[in-house]
Structure 1
Amino acid sequence: MTTMTDTSNAARFREFKMPDVGEGLTEAEILKWYVQPGDTVTDGQVVCEVETAKAAVELPIPFDGVVHELRFPEGTTVDVGQVIIAVDVAPGSDSGAEEPAAAPAPEAAAAPEAAAAPEAEAPKGRQPVLVGYGVAESSTKRRARKGAETAPPAAAPAAVQAELNGQGTAALPEARPLAKPPVRKLAKDLGIDLATVTPTGTGGVITREDVHAAATPVAPSAPSTPSTPSVPEPSVEAPAPVQAPAPVPAGTRETRIPVKGVRKAIAQAMVGSAFTAPHVTEFVTVDVTRTMKLVAELKEDKDMAGVRVNPLLLIAKALLVAIKRNPGVNAVWDEANQEIVQKHYVNLGIAAATPRGLIVPNIKDAQDQTLPQLAASLGELVATAREGRTSPAAMAGGTVTITNVGVFGVDTGTPILNPGESAILAVGAIKLQPWVHKGKVKPRQVTTLALSFDHRLIDGELGSRFLADIAAILEQPKRLITWA
Structure 2
Amino acid sequence: MKEFKLPDVGEGLTEAEIVRWHVKAGDPVKVNQIIVEIETAKAVVELPCPFEGVVAALMADEGEVVDVGRPIISVDDGTGPPPAPAAGRAGEGTADRAEALADDMVPTPPAEVRQPVLVGYGVKPGAAKRRPRKPSSPDGASGTSAEASSTASSTVSSPGTGRSAVLAKPPVRKLAKDLGVDLASLLGTGPHGSITRDDVQAALAAPAQESDVQAAPARPRVPAVTWEGEDEERVPVKGVRKATAQAMVASVFTAPHVTEFLQVDVTATMDAIQRLRGLPDFAGVKVSPLLMVAKAVLVAARRYPMINAAWDEARQEIVVKHRVNLGIAAATPRGLLVPNIKDAHRLSLPDLAGALGALAETARAGRTQPADMAGGTITITNVGVFGVDAGTPILNPGESAILAFGQVRDMPWVVDGQVVPRRVCTLALSFDHRVVDGELGSLFLRDVGAMLEDPLRMLAWG
Correspondence for 1:65 among 39, 42, 53: 53
Correspondence for 2:207 among 217, 225, 232: 232
What's 1:173 paired with?
none
What's 2:308 paired with?
330
Q: Give the deviation of 1:251 after TM superposition.
A: 2.8
Secondary structure of the corresponding residue to residue 184 of structure 2: coil
Q: Note if 1:352 corresponds to 2:306.
A: no
Correspondence for 1:131 among 102, 105, 120: 120
Partners of 1:302 and 1:429 in 2: CA distance: 28
Answer yes or no: is the 8 Å Cα contact 1:416–1:452 preserved in 2: yes
Secondary structure of the corresponding residue to residue 284 of structure 1: strand
Partners of 1:367 and 1:103 in 2: CA distance: 53
Q: Note if 1:35 corresponds to 2:23.
A: yes
Partners of 1:392 and 1:238 in 2: CA distance: 17
Q: Give the direction of change, closer, same or farther, for the CA distance of 1:106–1:257 in structure 2 (3 Å limit).
A: same
Partners of 2:276 and 2:127 in 1: CA distance: 42
Answer yes or no: is the 8 Å Cα contact 1:273–1:418 preserved in 2: yes
What's 2:429 paired with?
451
Partners of 1:221 and 1:343 in 2: CA distance: 52
Partners of 2:383 and 2:302 in 1: CA distance: 25
Partners of 1:33 and 1:248 in 2: CA distance: 36
Q: Give the direction of change, closer, same or farther, for the CA distance of 1:433–1:14 in structure 2 (3 Å limit).
A: same
Answer yes or no: is the 8 Å Cα contact 1:62–1:128 preserved in 2: no
Q: Note if 1:272 corresponds to 2:250.
A: yes
Correspondence for 1:104 among 87, 96, 110: 87
Secondary structure of the corresponding residue to residue 254 of structure 2: coil
Partners of 2:265 and 2:316 in 1: CA distance: 40
What's 2:176 paired with?
none
What's 2:292 paired with?
314
Answer yes or no: is the 8 Å Cα contact 2:57–2:74 preserved in 1: yes
What's 1:375 paired with?
353
Correspondence for 2:259 among 273, 277, 281: 281
Q: Note if 1:401 corresponds to 2:379.
A: yes
Answer yes or no: is the 8 Å Cα contact 1:31–1:51 preserved in 2: yes
Partners of 1:256 and 1:419 in 2: CA distance: 28
Partners of 1:366 and 1:264 in 2: CA distance: 29
Q: Give the direction of change, closer, same or farther, for the CA distance of 1:228–1:349 in structure 2 (3 Å limit).
A: farther
Answer yes or no: is the 8 Å Cα contact 1:232–1:431 preserved in 2: no
Q: Give the direction of change, closer, same or farther, for the CA distance of 1:411–1:103 in structure 2 (3 Å limit).
A: closer
Q: Which amino acid aligns with 2:60?
A: F
Answer yes or no: is the 8 Å Cα contact 2:157–2:164 preserved in 1: no
For residues 87-129 of structure 1, give each alpha carbon's deviation from its aligned partner in whole angstroms, at most 9, with x where no partner exists: 1222xx88xx6x864342389xxxxxxxxxxxxxxxxxxx995
For residues 424-456 of structure 1, give each alpha carbon's deviation from its aligned partner in whole angstroms, at most 9, with x where no partner exists: 000000001111122211111000000000001
Partners of 1:256 and 1:350 in 2: CA distance: 30
Secondary structure of the corresponding residue to residue 376 of structure 2: coil
What's 2:6 paired with?
18
Answer yes or no: is the 8 Å Cα contact 1:240–1:354 preserved in 2: no
Secondary structure of the corresponding residue to residue 394 of structure 1: helix
Answer yes or no: is the 8 Å Cα contact 1:232–1:430 preserved in 2: no
Answer yes or no: is the 8 Å Cα contact 1:21–1:129 preserved in 2: no
Q: Which amino acid aligns with 1:18?
A: L
Answer yes or no: is the 8 Å Cα contact 2:213–2:364 preserved in 1: no
What's 1:48 paired with?
36
Partners of 2:52 and 2:120 in 1: CA distance: 18
Secondary structure of the corresponding residue to residue 31 of structure 1: strand
Q: Note if 1:295 corresponds to 2:273.
A: yes
Q: Give the deviation of 1:233 after TM superposition.
A: 2.8
Q: Give the deviation of 1:63 after TM superposition.
A: 2.1
Partners of 1:419 and 1:220 in 2: CA distance: 44
Aligned pairs, how many? Answer: 381
Q: Give the direction of change, closer, same or farther, for the CA distance of 1:340–1:152 in structure 2 (3 Å limit).
A: closer
Q: Give the deviation of 1:483 after TM superposition.
A: 1.2
Q: Give the direction of change, closer, same or farther, for the CA distance of 1:106–1:340 in structure 2 (3 Å limit).
A: farther
Correspondence for 1:255 among 202, 209, 233: 233
Where do 5+ consecutive residues of structure 2 fail to align?
91-115, 132-154, 174-182, 188-202
Q: Give the deviation of 1:26 after TM superposition.
A: 1.2
Q: Which amino acid aligns with 2:347?
A: Q
Using the TM superposition, name which of 452-461 and 320-329 deviates more: 320-329
Partners of 1:358 and 1:217 in 2: CA distance: 24
Q: Give the deviation of 1:307 after TM superposition.
A: 1.6
Partners of 1:366 and 1:266 in 2: CA distance: 24
Partners of 1:390 and 1:40 in 2: CA distance: 29
Partners of 1:60 and 1:369 in 2: CA distance: 34
Q: Give the deviation of 1:306 after TM superposition.
A: 2.1
Secondary structure of the corresponding residue to residue 226 of structure 1: helix
Partners of 1:237 and 1:61 in 2: CA distance: 35
Where do 5+ consecutive residues of structure 1 fail to align?
1-12, 108-126, 133-141, 154-176, 180-207
Answer yes or no: is the 8 Å Cα contact 2:409–2:423 preserved in 1: yes
Q: Which amino acid aligns with 2:439?
A: E
TM-score, normalization by structure 1? 0.73
Q: Note if 1:442 corresponds to 2:437.
A: no
Secondary structure of the corresponding residue to residue 467 of structure 1: helix
Partners of 1:210 and 1:129 in 2: CA distance: 33
Partners of 1:217 and 1:419 in 2: CA distance: 37
What's 1:121 paired with?
none
Identity of aligned residues (%): 56
For residues 393-428 of structure 1, give each alpha carbon's deviation from its aligned partner in whole angstroms, at most 9, with x where no partner exists: 110111100000000001010000000000000000
Secondary structure of the corresponding residue to residue 102 of structure 1: coil
What's 1:411 paired with?
389
Secondary structure of the corresponding residue to residue 385 of structure 1: helix
